[in-house]
Amino acid sequence: MTKNDVISAAFRVWGQELYKTTSLAKLAEALGVSKPALYRHFQDKEALLEAMKERYYDDFAVAISPIVEEAKKNSNWQDKLLIMVQFISGYFTRHFGYFLYSLIKLHNSQEQHFFDMKPMLDRGIFLDDIHEELNANNNTAYPSALFLAGMTALFGTGMFHKQRQGINDSKMSKKRLEETWFSEQPDEEEISHFTGDLIEKVRQGLGFDMELVDALSYEELENLDLGIYDPPDPLLKAAAEAVAKKGPWDASMNMVAKQSGLSKSGLYAHFKSKEEMLSRLFLTEFDRISQYTSSHTASAETQEKQLYLAILSIAAYLHARPEILIVMHWVRIQGLELDLPVPKDLSKFFTGIKTAALFNGNRENISKWILFLLAAVLKHCNATKLKEKTVNLDYYCLRRLFRFICLGLEGLEEVP
């Protein structure tokens, strides 16, 4: 057993549980050695985690170096961005262990990209020139083209792995999932098809008509009274606040009991287990968002108006319920977890979207993509503002998001 063997096993073993734990005992068991044997290579767990980080960036820097040079030679900012997106999505499609590491470790620390800039700079990968060009053409505004394209790549790669391995098949055992995630690699034809489809999503969005999107009465829709929704259930609100603080894995029944003013035994009178509590929280809140949004989109005459009203409605709900935004953020970054599904009913207000070419014509996947981007944008843009109920939503931010969804990169060049 070499040092590299231990690092490779750590990506595989800890990745199988999405880094819920980083148990050295489980790692030793998978390697067929004693726990003390690991200390011959690493002084402690922190040293191993640091070695994993170094391996992750070393390998990524080697792979991306020629792509950076290729992108720098291209004079068009959109083509430059598409070159980077195609490489990154393909790389993390091939390297599932690294994808999980970037998803969990980096996104839990509020990073919004697959990699941090400083370690790349330390390895001689200079991205400043590319970033300057990508931030040209009015793309310095938030959300930037780079952010939206990167989040689309993250979403697409996650969906690729879930669908390819049958992760949504409830009949598939956890053991089988753990085996297939890391052992069955996609072939190059499969990767090429996926990255090509993803590039079209970034390039053209849902393929709406630009004239119709430009003609939308943005300000009029933004000034509509979106009404008042019923107050949340106090227990579920306490659960949401606990999840917002610690995440669904670490939020405990004790925390919820304390937050709600009940004893732990009193809380168990309402929920049989933490799993039941979380399931009810997610299903209830997503259903409330769905009903709230449907009531504002039902009378929309066009798919453009329907989509923008849906975005405005969800944003307004999350503006008033910031703890639910953070819950959605947890679902977003931990979306490979089997027991945290987004209910299908939440996609029903997108049924008017007529597009068959993107996302394999799957409206549920279109809805998930839109919700994923919306949660990412609001979490990143309004994290501070959402704490202040008197602060208005950033409508310019929502317009940029809407136009990217409808038109892709070209929709960001001129935003009303």
Alpha-carbon gap, residue 158 to 138, rounded angstroms = 29
Total of domains in the chain: 2
pLDDT score at 111: 46
266 and 396 belong to one structural domain: yes
Task: Mark which of 204, 224, 243 sits at the end of a domain.
Answer: 204
Count of H-run helices and E-run strands, the chain: 21, 0
Q: Whole domain around residue 243: which residue ranges? A: 210-412
323 and 305 belong to one structural domain: yes
Reported as a single tens digit per residue, the pLDDT across 187-241 is 889 899 999 999 999 999 988 999 999 999 999 999 888 776 678 888 888 888 8
89 and 138 belong to one structural domain: yes
CB 184 within 8 A of CB 166: no
CATH of the domain at 343: 1.10.357.10
43 and 178 belong to one structural domain: yes
Alpha-carbon gap, residue 87 to 68, rounded angstroms = 10
239 and 383 belong to one structural domain: yes
CB 303 within 8 A of CB 353: yes
pLDDT score at 173: 47
217 and 78 belong to one structural domain: no
The helix (run of H) or strand (run of E) holding residue 254 is helix 253-260
Q: How confident is the model at residue 109 (pLDDT cuts 50, 70, 90)?
A: very low
Reported as a single tens digit per residue, the pLDDT across 268-325 is 999 988 888 888 887 888 788 888 888 888 788 888 998 999 899 988 888 888 888 8
Alpha-carbon gap, residue 114 to 88, rounded angstroms = 8
109 and 230 belong to one structural domain: no
pLDDT score at 338: 36
193 and 255 belong to one structural domain: no
239 and 109 belong to one structural domain: no
CB 239 within 8 A of CB 278: yes
For 163-167, 183-187, 221-225, which range has the lowest pLDDT when averaged over its residues? 163-167
Non-local CB neighbours of 46 within 8 Å, separated by 6+ positions:
none
Task: Mark which of 154, 185, 204 sits at the end of a domain.
Answer: 204
> Residue 18 region, left (φ>0) first, then alpha (ψ -120 to 50), else beta?
left
* Positions of E strands within 18-71: none
pLDDT score at 214: 94
Alpha-carbon gap, residue 220 to 202, rounded angstroms = 28
CB 26 within 8 A of CB 9: no
For residues 161-165, give the mean pLDDT.
74
> Residue 302 region, left (φ>0) first, then alpha (ψ -120 to 50), else beta?
beta
57 and 191 belong to one structural domain: yes
Task: Mark which of 188, 204, 220 sits at the end of a domain.
Answer: 204
141 and 218 belong to one structural domain: no
58 and 186 belong to one structural domain: yes
pLDDT score at 328: 74
